[in-house]
A and B are shown apart, each in its own frame.
Chain A
Amino acid sequence: MLGIENLRVVYHDVISVLNGISLTLNEKEILIIIGANGAGKTTLLRSVAGMIDFYDGSIVDGDIKMNGASIKGLDATDIMKRFGLTYVIEDRPVFWYLTIEENLGAASFSRWDKQVKADIEGIYSLFPVLEKLRHRKAGYASGGEQQMLAIGMALMTRPKILLLDEPSLGLAPLITEELFSTIEGLNQSGITIVLVEQNAHAALDIGTRGYVMETGRIVLDGSSRELLENEDVREFYLGSGKRERKSYKDAKRYKRRKRWL
């Protein structure tokens, strides 16, 4: 349903972050994007969500197509309304000074139907802990609670496609596991998910397909299973390659040689 063709994005007119990315997103799948810091994962999501100009970046080449029609240059709110695409930005995008209930209300701002109240109750039954804290300011909630709230807020927009930017950031492994099973559940209820993660193992476990990004390019793609078994991915992202100890210098040279550039 979503196709990205040879996308190039530049920040502040000089810093080239995406150097020709092409990928496709199929309906009802969980697409995993992994890559090191600075690979351009967040930039990719910002471009798709129509928020790149807000960060002073611009698309200089290529196209983003939704069901064959270009969505390049559309506003974030337009993209959300027309295609049900919601972008959950990095690092717990909740409003710290609003209560949890107000947060859910704010996230449903683009909707005018009568179902909002019922949907909020739905979120509470999905994440019962949020109901207990409903009148507390979100800034005082714990990291896990904030991330649940963020997903709850994203659901309030009634998304068809959900872009999640490192939801596991700063969460304990147990909470991460819980979060990922929630994401899996959302996918089973029919939401297409793009999951950008550093936590490659956990992500690939629930994913359908995956892409590996490095310095603004896609260097590898395949089904989750293929990626999990790929030797390079195992070594660089899963940390379970050959076990022999190397000196730092060796590792660096080796990595340079191994780069898919």
Chain B
Amino acid sequence: MVDFTQALGAGTLVGLVYALLGLSIVIIYRASEAFNFAIGEFLVIGSFLFYIFFFDLRIPLLVALPLGLLAAGLVGALVERFAIKPLLGRSPLSMTIITLGLGFFLRGCVQLIFGSHSYSFFLELPDITQEFGDLLFLSDPIWAGILSLSTFGLILFLLFRTRWGLAIRATSENQAKAMAFGIDARFILLIVWAISSACIAVAGIMISNFGALSSMSSIVGLRAIPVVLIGGMDSIVGALVGGIIVGVCESLAGAYIEPMGLVGFKEVAPYLLLLIVLLIRPYGLFGQIRIERV
């Protein structure tokens, strides 16, 4: 029972980071109906930008973090301007394909600039390790959970309580209608990509903090795929629930199935679960029921 609770708790904390990755996919999907396959590269680039500010330039954390996120957002905006905007009005599929190619391009850039070796990455956050009897939750995952959850909350606040959020939601529904009512849909798309990119960077920094940062960290970004597919591609709640499900599933598989000799099952388990969910609910658990009128 202790093992189970431990795995559940640890899985939830990591799951919150995955949820943030899922959210960044969902907001782009809702705005341009494209899936951002370059998420892994965004994650690495965001982490490296923060790395430069914090570790290379030795700027204090509270300044380096916003700077890093701002820079990550800028990268997202640049990518949107040069790779996505020219495709506006075309099929979302072509945008999705573009993000695939973009991923390879960005990975090449990262390897060219930073090489492919690992960088040690350790944020000296205050130690908040929690012990309850036999349960032990390490400080880093707790920080990761807290920061991811608060970023998630911040984005929700932005989307549902501010005028810019309203404009983003309107544009996400229909660009032509938004433009007709004076919302600059193209600029909104730029903002969405910037926000998404900054979210991915937060997740990336948290994940790098678990171990080290290298150009291969991009693999983690793909964890967003089961997250959004389980939760539903267009659902924000789905991203949160999906993220936690994936985190817990991974952690339970690591605690119970891997010791049986199936090494590496941890990586596969979320995809297995994904298959089962999709068989039962093809739109994901929280995929939006379309309002259709004939």
Complex Cα spacing A219 to B174, Å: 34
Q: Is the CB of A77 within 8 A of B183?
A: yes
Closest A residue to B163 by beta carbon equals A109
Interface locus among B165-173, B206-214, B248-256, B269-277: B165-173
Contact of A56 among B89, B166, B178, B180 (CB under 8 A): B89
- CB nearest neighbor in A for B178: A106
CB distance from B254 to the nearest CB of A (A): 39
Contact indicator B163/A77 (Cβ below 8 Å): no
From A77, A93, A102, A156, contact of B177 by CB (8 A): A93
Looking across the interface, which residue of chain B has its beta carbon closest to that of A78?
Answer: B184
Which residues 79-102 of B sit at the A interface, judged by CB distance below 8 A? 88-89
Closest to A91 in B: B177
Q: Check B216 for interface membership: any CB of A closer than 8 A.
A: no
Point out the residues of chain A lying under 8 angstroms from B291, CB to CB: 96-97, 137, 139-140
Q: Look across to chain B and name the residue whose beta carbon is closest to the beta carbon of A116.
A: B163
Cβ of A77 and Cβ of B173 under 8 Å apart?
Answer: no
Q: Looking at the assembled complex, report how far the CB atom of A57 sits from the nearest CB atom of chain B, in whole angstroms.
A: 11
Expressed in whole angstroms, the Cα–Cα distance for A176 and B43 within the complex equals 53
**Are A86's CB and B293's CB within 8 A?**
no
In the assembled complex, A110 has its CB within 8 A of some CB on chain B: yes
One of A54, A81, A137, A157 near B181 (C-beta < 8 A): A157
CB distance from B246 to the nearest CB of A (A): 26
Q: How many A residues touch B, CB cutoff 8 Å? A: 34
Give the shortest distance, in Å, between A106 (CB) and chain B (any CB): 4
How many whole Å from A24's CB to the nearest CB in chain B? 23
Main secondary structure of the interface of B (DSSP, over half): helix
Report how far A86 CA is from B291 CA in the complex, Å: 26
For chain A residues 61-111, which have a beta carbon within 8 Å of chain B? 75-77, 80-81, 86-89, 93-98, 102-103, 105-107, 109-110
User: Which single member of B88, B167, B180 contacts A49 (CB below 8 Å)?
Assistant: B180
A93 touching B163, Cβ below 8 Å: no
- Chain A: CB-nearest residue to B183: A109
> B170 contacts A98, CB within 8 Å?
yes
Residue A254 at the B interface, CB < 8 A? no
A51 at the interface (CB under 8 A from B): yes
**With A and B bound together, what is the CA distance between A5 and B12 in angstroms?**
64
B89 touches A109 (CB 8 A): no
Q: How far is the CA of A107 from the CA of B179 in the complex (A)?
A: 10
Q: Mark B268-294, 1 if CB is under 8 A from A, else 0.
A: 000000000000000000001001010
For the complex, give the distance between the alpha carbons of A140 and B290 in Å.
11
Whether A106 touches B166, Cβ cut-off 8 Å, given contacts A95-B173, A137-B291, is: yes
B183: which A residues are within 8 A, CB to CB? 77, 106, 109-110
Q: Which of A81, A95, A110 contacts B174 (CB 8 A)?
A: A95
Q: Is the CB of A89 within 8 A of B176?
A: yes
Contact pick for A86, options B169, B176, B180, CB 8 Å: B180
How far, in angstroms, from A106 to B291 measured CA to CA in the complex? Answer: 19
- Let me know if B218 is at the binding interface, CB within 8 A: no
Interchain nearest-CB distance for A42 vs B (Å): 11
Question: Which residues does chain A contribute within 8 Å of B47, judged by CB atoms?
Answer: none
Task: Return chain A residues, CB-CB under 8 Å to B293.
Answer: 139
A31 at the binding interface (Cβ < 8 Å): no
Query: A69: shortest Cβ distance to chain B, in Å?
Result: 20
Residue of B nearest to A154 (CB): B181
Flag whether B175 is at the interface (Cβ < 8 A). yes
Check B182 against A110 for contact (C-beta < 8 Å): yes
**How many Å from the CB of B163 to the closest CB on chain A?**
6
Whether the Cβ atoms of B184 and A75 lie closer than 8 Å is yes
B155 to chain A minimum Cβ distance, whole angstroms, is 18
Does B166 contact A109, Cβ atoms closer than 8 Å?
A: yes
Report yes or no: A88 in contact with B180, Cβ–Cβ below 8 A. yes
List 7 additional contacts besides A55-B176, A98-B170; criterion CB under 8 Å: A93-B177, A97-B288, A102-B169, A106-B167, A109-B182, A109-B183, A110-B182
Show 11 residue pairs from A and B whose CB-CB distance is below 8 angstroms, ordered by the A residue.
Answer: A54-B89, A80-B182, A89-B176, A93-B177, A93-B181, A95-B169, A97-B291, A98-B170, A109-B167, A109-B183, A110-B181
B interface with A by C-beta (< 8 Å): 88-89, 163, 166-167, 169-170, 173-184, 288, 291, 293
Chain A contact residues, CB within 8 Å of chain B: 49, 51, 54-56, 75-77, 80-81, 86-89, 93-98, 102-103, 105-107, 109-110, 137, 139-140, 153-154, 156-157
